Amino acid sequence: MLPSRGLFAALFVFLMGPYCLSQDSLVTVTAEKGDGILSLLRKQGANPYEMYDDFIAMNMENLRDSVHLYEGRTYRIPLSKVDSVIVVDTIAKRSKEIKKVVGKEFPIFGKKHAAVLPRSEKLKGAVYYLVSGHGGPDPGAMANYAGTKISEDEYAYDITLRLAKELLSHGATVYVIIRDADDGIRDERILKIDHDEVAYGDKTIPLNQVARLRQRVDIINELHRKNRGKFQRLIVTHVDSRSKGQNIDVFFYHHEKSKNGKKLAESIHKTFQKKYKKYQPNRTYTGTFEDRTSLYLVKKTHPAMTFIEIGNIRNKKDQRRILDPDNRQALAKWISEGVILDFEGGEIGPIR
């Protein structure tokens, strides 16, 4: 039986997308004190991670440093993709030819962020091992913010989870090597310090530094062996600690003899250069990518890899990049775009 005229109309709206609707259908909202992009979208009932890029593109002229809202200014809210899913769901009740797209749940991201909706298959067949620095008995670099202690491992972990979610949404297989069952993705500025992180396989993280690093190397290399023949990459995320006056950009390390590792680091670096040029044209991006084989994980792990330093946890300007959940999401998004760039022009190649 042929679909009804109403079904054809609904299908037209769904397939043409939100841009076939009039400008009058756009929602606008005034930013209040304390609002960020994520919180503003969430208050409007939109999925903040699905709508993040569209929001920035629509409101670029009203954003500070491309990611911060101005209190009292009016912003346009993109039409939620969730609305399209609802349309499809309604049609599906009348036609078995159309199916509702359903995401998967990943408890490690926390209750609010557990659902991962598929966005593309750009990374289908690729395997990524994500390691956030320190964890367990070692909080990593420490600093004070607003009278509270903050630690490297909590912020590196949050960015790593956000990156994992981005990669999963594009069809990748992802192993999160350092894990915390309680934390999930967090949208607070100050992330509470705890010591209950474990390594993949629920392994207790050793206190001794060499034992801790060796444990990670052994886990990664064993997984790499099991996934032999697949496109595999390792991404390690740290937050640096330098003098308070030293403001640094995001920079990347790779193994000096790894052609694929260098390509991965360079692809993410190029993405950051492009983003800074677009979103912060008055500021020069000074982050670099270079070999640093002296680092234990760079030297000992088998997959082609990049080691990322996000910023200086003791510097006030860098703290804004690290503490602001919008910034952490942007970092994860930009890294994921560099990862896609690497994969689309990648090759499996040898171990190094």
Query: Which region holds residue 108: left if phi is over 0, alpha if psi is between -120 and 50, else beta?
Result: alpha
Environment class of 123 (CB within 10 Å of its CB; exposed 0-12, middle 13-18, buried 19+): buried
Give the pTM.
0.78
Q: How many residues does the chain have?
A: 352
Q: Are 196 and 180 in contact (CB under 8 A)?
A: yes
CA–CA dist 303, 175 (Å, integer): 13
Class of domain 104-344: alpha beta
Residue 204, amino acid: T
What integer is the mean pLDDT of 17-37? 67
pLDDT tens readout for residues 147-183: 999 999 999 999 999 999 999 999 999 999 999 999 9
220-265 residue pLDDT tens: 999 999 999 999 999 999 998 776 767 778 999 999 999 999 999 9
Q: Identify the pLDDT of residue 282.
A: 80
Enumerate the domain spans of the chain: 5-92, 104-344
